[in-house]
Structure 1
Amino acid sequence: MVNKLRKKFVITAMLSLLLILVIMIGVINIVNVRHVISEADRLLTMLENNDGYFPGMKFDDRPEDASQFSSEEEIQPTAESSVGNEPNPRPMNPTNPFQFDKLNSNRDAEMPYQSRYFWVRLDASNNVTEINLGHIASVTENIASEYAIDVANNSQSKGFYHTYRYILSEKEDGTKLVIFSDQSAAILNMLTLLLQSVLVGLCALIAMFILVFIFSSQAVAPVVESLEKQKRFITDAGHELKTPLAVISANVDVLELESGKSEWTTSIKNQVTRMNGLVKNLLTLSRMDEERMHVVFSDFDMSKTVKDTAVSFEALATSKGKKYQMDIEDGIHITGDKNAINQLASLLLDNAMKYSSEKGSIHVLLTKGNKYITFEVSNTCDAIPSGNLDRLFDRFYRADSSRARETGGYGIGLSVARAIATSHGGSIEALRDGDKIIRFVVTLPKELPKNIQKMNK
């Protein structure tokens, strides 16, 4: 129980952190991609509005030769420059690099010299009439023509073509201008950011796992202490109750010898028997270690064990007017604990007897497959619990408290049955078969799993 609780704590913490990291990494990279696309579209829109050129550079598209441009065409007054004899309204601080107005102004001024792009002009029939490759070195005229014609035939006004972001502008006379902006560097930066963020997230996840694993024992320490106290109380209370119950039973026997049987002595004996059953179940519960009971494995005939147990309930079923059917395949052997399997069969059959409908039916089935053995006990039921039937295996859970009081149930038997199935490397589940039949299906491996074999060596 403690190890399982600690494991759940670690898994929950790690899944929570993983979810946060995935969302953070996803948001950061999505925002970065959208920013790159936005900047590329901003550049292309500027070039489209100026017929493929930057403002002030239409007559010579070589920004490297800046001396050919007149100052009137190139230099535009900005907020940082002085106009006439006016002082600069925002004086620069040489020790502060984070001045966003200046940074934006510098970026816009350097954009013509940093941007890698080319454009192709097409006529109405998509024939190339003009190509401008003055701002790119990796593209030839043939490649530029091929790209432009493909984009024009695709008829999408904006998008990606290989590593280029493009914009398609159609003029009133039917001619087209296709502008491509090289995004190779931006794509590499995006991939680098993605890789770095994933690596950082992975390192954070590993570091978090180490810390959570180290401190998980302290986190679950109060629960562990509470469970240990509960287990010790159940064990002590169970042993302490045995003595007074034995004394009461002996005193009742003496009273019956002296005064004869009466309804009062019979009632006392019934209650003592019921209390003895409760104490036995409590002690069984206290011996559970993480829902795994201590068992001694050997090869035995499971068919005979189950059949002997089932036959012992046949007379009880007949006396209560219930239809009792057994379909037990012969010769099924299993490696397990014979006493535990016998207890498992008894618990399921006793549960079926208690909670089956009046004049109902009970069916016991044992079959063998290639790798697994299936043991099933089904019975008719007036009111099958709604919702998840897995709750029936919780300790002290009772779907119908009033019915449980009538039948003497305490909500322990099925949890013990699950512990037995788990200790053999198997499983047990409760299934609905229509509205009136409930089935308890136990699946056990023919051969013990290696991890259980190692635990019992």
Structure 2
Amino acid sequence: MVKTLRRKFIAITMISVTAVFLIIMGIINLVNYSNVYSNANEKMDILASNNGEFPKLDQGSNMPGTNEINTPENTTNVSGEKQNIQMEQMPNYQSGFMGQKRDKKGTFYNFGNNAINEETPFETRYFNVTLSDSGDYISSNLLNVAAISKDSAISYAKELYDKGSVKGIYDDYMYRQIDVDGNKMYVFLDCKRDISSFRTFLIISIIVTVAGEILVFILSAILSRIFLKPVFESYDKQKRFITDASHELKTPVAIIKANVEIIEMENGESEWTQSIVKQADRLTNLTEKMVMLSRMDEGTRTGEFVDLNASELFEEVAESYEPIAIKMNKTYSIDVEKGISLKGDSDNLIEMISLLIDNAFKYSNDGGNVDVTFKKNSKGKVLTISNSVDEIEEGRHDELFERFVRMDESRNSKTGGFGIGLSVAQAIAESHKAKISARSYDTQSIEFKVVF
């Protein structure tokens, strides 16, 4: 139990921290990507609105006073090759882009909804390729990019033409198709630097998240010992008390039973002496089960785990309750599939199925049914003990496995017991790596299922 509690503490801490890291880093990277895409899209809007070029700015003495555009005869690319560029003379806007005025700082210009500064045309890498309506190459402009050759640029454009794509991202280039004089111009904007920065930040954020997770795990593993130390100490005291009390009770119980035997030898048996013996046996049984639970809570195996013929074992135990079914006038059925084996401790498994069947007989309604099945299916090897009841809420009833909880408090005087039988059965099942559950499907019966 102590180890389980510590593992749960660490698990909850790690899940909480992981969720926080993922949310924070996710939001940051999402905003970062949104900014990268938005900035690139703004530049592309400008290029697409101006036939694949940035409009010229009037910068007085800081820029040439001419708006002359290179013609096919005097335009070359970075390799000194002639470029076949079909462009028109552009007007010289004396007040910025498209008649928009320069702001107070004289730095930014507005073009539609986009704001760029005077350096944007020079720091932006872009090119365009024009194809005919049938996909034949007409012209290209590679003056503003150095990382791509003419053949590659044409190849990009033709591949997008064949796919019918009009905009998107291709090989870290944002592209858009526009119509120019009845032809199709593909404008490409180089986003490699921005995308590379985004990817670098994403990788760094992942590394930071993983490093943070490792650090939190180490700290939680260390601090859990400190935070849970009072709980550990309290549990150890409780466990020692149970163990010590069980040993201390054995002697007086043994003396009581011995004295009763002497009284019976002298005066004969009576209902009073038999009641004393019965209650002494109940007290002995209770202390033994409490000690067993204490050991199993710590994950300590009791008994020797070996390969068993579970079918024979369970069927033998189930058949031993047939006389009880006849005596209590209850319908009792046993359906055990042959040849199913398990690895476990036979004494503990016998104790588990006995507790479950005994519980079914105790809490089934008068003249009711008790059914025991053990079969193999896709879920595993399934032991099922079900019994009819007068009324029970439909659904899961895992609360019945809590200690000192009973199905029907009104039947305490009739059934006896202390309400820890199902807790012991659960502990035995878990020690065999099995899952135990309780569920009602129809409000008139309850089913206990153990899946190995």
Structure 2 counterparts to residues 170-319 of structure 1, below 5 A: 170=179, 174=182, 176-239=184-247, 254=263, 261=270, 274-298=282-306, 305-319=313-327
- Where do 5+ consecutive residues of structure 1 fail to align? 83-105, 445-457
Structure 2 counterparts to residues 384-395 of structure 1, below 5 A: 384-395=392-403
Between the aligned partners of 1:304 and 1:45, the Cα distance in structure 2 is: 80
Q: Which stretch of structure 1 is more off in the superposition, 285-294 or 145-154? A: 145-154
Q: Partner amino acid for 1:18?
A: T
Q: Partner amino acid for 1:343?
A: E
Pairing 1:50–2:58 present: no
2:242 alignment partner, SS class: helix
Q: Which stretch of structure 1 is more off in the superposition, 377-386 or 215-224? A: 377-386
| Residue of structure 2 in register with 1:408 after alignment | 416
Return the offset for 1:213: 1.4
| Residue of structure 1 in register with 2:24 after alignment | 24
Return the offset for 1:324: 2.3
Between the aligned partners of 1:74 and 1:310, the Cα distance in structure 2 is: 94
Contact 1:256–1:265 (CA under 8 A) maintained in structure 2: no
User: How large is the RMSD of aligned CA atoms in angstroms?
Assistant: 4.3
Residues 309-338 of structure 1: per-residue CA shift (max 9 Å, x gap): 334322221111012233456777655433
Return the offset for 1:116: 0.8
Between the aligned partners of 1:330 and 1:146, the Cα distance in structure 2 is: 71
Structure 2 counterparts to residues 32-431 of structure 1, below 5 A: 32-56=32-56, 59-60=68-69, 79-80=104-105, 108-121=117-130, 129-148=138-157, 151=160, 158-170=167-179, 174=182, 176-239=184-247, 254=263, 261=270, 274-298=282-306, 305-328=313-336, 335-366=343-374, 374-404=382-412, 406-430=414-438
Q: Partner amino acid for 1:228?
A: D
Return the offset for 1:192: 1.8
1:325 alignment partner, SS class: strand
Contact 1:117–1:180 (CA under 8 A) maintained in structure 2: yes
Contact 1:295–1:423 (CA under 8 A) maintained in structure 2: no
Between the aligned partners of 1:382 and 1:10, the Cα distance in structure 2 is: 44
1:326 alignment partner, SS class: strand
Q: Partner amino acid for 2:178?
A: S
Contact 1:56–1:73 (CA under 8 A) maintained in structure 2: no
Between the aligned partners of 1:312 and 1:81, the Cα distance in structure 2 is: 99
Contact 2:246–2:291 (CA under 8 A) maintained in structure 1: yes
**Cα–Cα, structure 1 residues 337 and 154, in superposed 2: closer, same or farther, change >3 Å?**
closer
**Cα–Cα, structure 1 residues 162 and 335, in superposed 2: closer, same or farther, change >3 Å?**
closer
Between the aligned partners of 1:4 and 1:277, the Cα distance in structure 2 is: 27
Between the aligned partners of 2:177 and 2:199, the Cα distance in structure 1 is: 27
Residues 123-159 of structure 1: per-residue CA shift (max 9 Å, x gap): 6666655422211124444544454455567666542
- Where do 5+ consecutive residues of structure 2 fail to align? 58-66, 79-90, 108-114
Between the aligned partners of 1:124 and 1:378, the Cα distance in structure 2 is: 77
Contact 2:157–2:186 (CA under 8 A) maintained in structure 1: yes
| Residue of structure 2 in register with 1:102 after alignment | none
Return the offset for 1:169: 3.4
Between the aligned partners of 1:256 and 1:369, the Cα distance in structure 2 is: 56
Q: Partner amino acid for 2:230?
A: P
| Residue of structure 1 in register with 2:86 after alignment | none
Between the aligned partners of 1:78 and 1:371, the Cα distance in structure 2 is: 72
| Residue of structure 2 in register with 1:440 after alignment | 448
| Residue of structure 1 in register with 2:8 after alignment | 8
Between the aligned partners of 2:345 and 2:139, the Cα distance in structure 1 is: 89
Return the offset for 1:115: 1.0
Q: Partner amino acid for 1:118?
A: F
Q: Structure 1 length as normaliser, TM-score?
A: 0.74
Contact 2:2–2:232 (CA under 8 A) maintained in structure 1: yes
Between the aligned partners of 1:303 and 1:51, the Cα distance in structure 2 is: 83
1:418 alignment partner, SS class: helix
Residues 281-306 of structure 1: per-residue CA shift (max 9 Å, x gap): 33333333425442134566655654
Return the offset for 1:410: 3.1
Contact 2:129–2:154 (CA under 8 A) maintained in structure 1: yes
1:190 alignment partner, SS class: helix
Contact 1:32–1:190 (CA under 8 A) maintained in structure 2: yes
**Cα–Cα, structure 1 residues 73 and 441, in superposed 2: closer, same or farther, change >3 Å?**
closer
Q: Partner amino acid for 1:45?
A: D
1:395 alignment partner, SS class: coil
Contact 2:394–2:443 (CA under 8 A) maintained in structure 1: no
Between the aligned partners of 2:341 and 2:162, the Cα distance in structure 1 is: 74
**Cα–Cα, structure 1 residues 178 and 248, in superposed 2: closer, same or farther, change >3 Å?**
same
Between the aligned partners of 1:372 and 1:159, the Cα distance in structure 2 is: 51
Q: Structure 2 length as normaliser, TM-score?
A: 0.74
**Cα–Cα, structure 1 residues 383 and 251, in superposed 2: closer, same or farther, change >3 Å?**
farther
Contact 1:291–1:419 (CA under 8 A) maintained in structure 2: no
Between the aligned partners of 2:320 and 2:301, the Cα distance in structure 1 is: 25
Q: What's the % identity of the aligned pairs?
A: 38
